């Protein structure tokens, strides 16, 4: 473990018996999890299992019907703006302002995130760390591929340098090389003490990079285990068993 790890027992990201209902539909049913600083927590589950809903709760886009969602010990529903300073978010589809260039988008979002205006050099450095070609930085985002847009999203998160990171299906649509580079970035962040919660379909990637793994099904967290304790095959078997079980 790294020396910059937060020794205190307060998790950076915490869901406490969180339930969220949409009318008669219970999207999340008493879900509890905690992500410590310097830890990667991978959330697995099928479409509609509730993964994105949980992310939305952490971001304050939704309010829990019952239970609490906390970032760095603060209740998200009470102190929305403060909690947002502590968390960076990279959506599955990073959507940007198409008429503006990559570096202009980065400048805007980074400024809103940190309150500081970064120099062009600093912005280019961030983009390059995120893996975006420098020649593409000044082109309109409307011409970017999905992967390129995601790299801008990564650059924004890097600029924010927040203590927690939320990722929604980060590797979907990325080619293996890009996915690999992304995993390396995640590891760097983990070593720097960032608490990371990521949702994914990718079992291999989850076992490879994650410290903890959670399996969600129909709004419930049915499994929560340490990645080290399982082999790849065990994980796959366990996952499939849960998916096949009756609701």
Closest-CA residue to 127 (of 146, 106, 101, 96): 106
Nearer to other proteins, 82 or 243 (CB): 82
Is 189 an interacting residue with respect to other proteins (CB under 8 A)? no
CA 207, distance to chain mean position in Å, is 16
Nearer to other proteins, 44 or 87 (CB): 87
Transcribe 187-207 into DSSP letters.
Answer: HHHHHTT-EEEEEES-HHHHH
Write down the least CB distance from residue 196 to other proteins, Å. Answer: 15
Core vs surface per residue 46-66: b (16+ CB within 10 A) or e:
eeebbbbbbbbbbbbebebee
Phi-psi region of 115 (alpha: psi -120 to 50; beta: other; left: phi over 0): left
Nearer to other proteins, 36 or 83 (CB): 83
Among 100, 174, 179, 225, binds other proteins (CB under 8 A): 100
Is 109 an interacting residue with respect to other proteins (CB under 8 A)? yes
Q: Contact, 166 vs 55, CB < 8 A?
A: yes
Write down the least CB distance from residue 63 to other proteins, Å. Answer: 10
Among 9, 95, 121, 233, binds other proteins (CB under 8 A): 95
Is 104 an interacting residue with respect to other proteins (CB under 8 A)? yes
Among 21, 30, 68, 108, binds other proteins (CB under 8 A): 108
Query: How far apart are the C-alpha atoms of 175 and 244, rounded to whole Å?
Result: 29
Q: Which of residues 138-167 bind other proteins (CB under 8 A)?
A: 153, 156, 160, 166
Residue 49 Cα distances to 68, 144, 204, 216, angstroms: 19, 31, 19, 6
Write down the least CB distance from residue 165 to other proteins, Å. Answer: 11
Positions that interact with other proteins (CB under 8 A): 56, 59-62, 81-82, 84-85, 87-89, 91, 93-100, 104, 108-109, 111-117, 153, 156, 160, 166
């Amino acid at each position: 473990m790294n020396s910059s790890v937060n020794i205190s027992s307060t998790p950076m990201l915490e869901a406490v018996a969180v339930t969220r209902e949409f009318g008669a539909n219970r999207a999340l049913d008493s879900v509890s999890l905690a992500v410590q600083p310097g830890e990667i927590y991978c959330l697995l589950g099928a479409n509609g299992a509730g993964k994105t809903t949980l992310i939305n709760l952490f971001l304050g886009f939704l309010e829990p019907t019952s239970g609490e969602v906390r970032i760095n010990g603060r209740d998200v529903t009470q102190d929305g703006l403060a909690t947002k300073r502590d968390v960076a978010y990279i959506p599955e589809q990073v959507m940007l302002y198409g008429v503006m260039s990559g570096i202009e988008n980065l400048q805007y979002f980074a400024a809103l995130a940190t309150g500081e205006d970064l120099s062009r050099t600093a912005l280019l450095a961030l983009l390059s760390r995120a893996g975006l070609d420098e020649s593409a930085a000044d082109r309109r985002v409307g011409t970017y591929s999905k992967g390129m847009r995601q790299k801008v999203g990564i650059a924004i998160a890097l600029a924010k340098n927040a203590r927690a990171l939320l990722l929604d299906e980060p590797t979907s649509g990325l080619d293996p090389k890009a996915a690999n580079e992304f995993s390396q970035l995640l590891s760097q962040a983990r070593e720097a003490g960032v608490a990371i919660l990521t949702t994914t379909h990718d079992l291999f990637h989850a076992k490879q990079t994650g410290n903890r793994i959670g399996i969600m099904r129909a709004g419930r967290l049915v499994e929560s285990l340490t990645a080290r304790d399982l082999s790849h095959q065990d994980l796959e078997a366990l996952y499939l068993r849960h998916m096949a079980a009756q609701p």
